[in-house]
Amino acid sequence: MSVLELSAAIPLAGGMGGMGGAMGLVPLVAVLALTALVVAGAVGIWRVAGDSDERSRSTEPTETAVERLQRRYAEGELTEAEFERALERELASDGTTEAGTVAVGEPNPATETERAR
């Protein structure tokens, strides 16, 4: 190989002072970085959209106090008298409970002991 041939091959190989080699990697790295940003953005948008769907499903109306009483009566957890008393309390209170009181439809320990006697 002559000196002339060797001097022509050095720039192509990216060696001593040539514009090859590492300079060819810059566009490749830029394309890979841009692709990673686009993918990360798409995944982020997809996850946020999924979270909002779950929140909208969880805000669906839950069982009302009257529905809960009806279900407990149907399952046999409440007697007819307990159901009627709890229903009257619920309709009178419009679903509001004071601090320290038993939730609507739940057994009251004070009345349970009286009923047991």
Is pLDDT of 67 > 60?
Answer: yes
Percent of the chain with pLDDT over 70: 53
pLDDT at 76: 92
In a domain, 14, yes or no: no
> Above pLDDT 90, what percent of the chain?
26
Query: Which pLDDT score, from 0 to 100, does residue 89 have?
Result: 92
Is residue 69 situated within a structural domain?
A: yes
**Residue 111 maps to a domain:** yes
Supply 85's token pair. 């008393």
CA 78 vs CA 71, 83, 85, 87, 111: distances in Å: 9, 6, 10, 11, 13
Given a cut of 50, whether residue 99 has pLDDT beyond it is no
Which pLDDT score is estimated for 22?
Answer: 72
5 found inside a domain = no
pLDDT in tens, 77-97: 999 999 999 999 988 886 555
Question: Number of folded domains in the chain?
Answer: 1
Q: What is the pLDDT of residues 7-43, one digit of tens each?
A: 555 555 555 555 566 777 888 889 999 999 999 999 9
Q: What burial class does residue 1 get, using C-beta atoms within 10 Å of its C-beta: 0-12 exposed, 13-18 middle, 19+ buried?
A: exposed
Tell me, yes or no, whether 37 lies in a domain.
Answer: no
The reply to whether 109 falls in a domain is yes
Domain extent, residue 104, equals 65-116
Residue 56 lies in a domain: no
Is residue 89 in a domain?
A: yes
On average, the pLDDT of the chain sits at: 74
- Unique residue bearing structure tokens 């009178």: 92
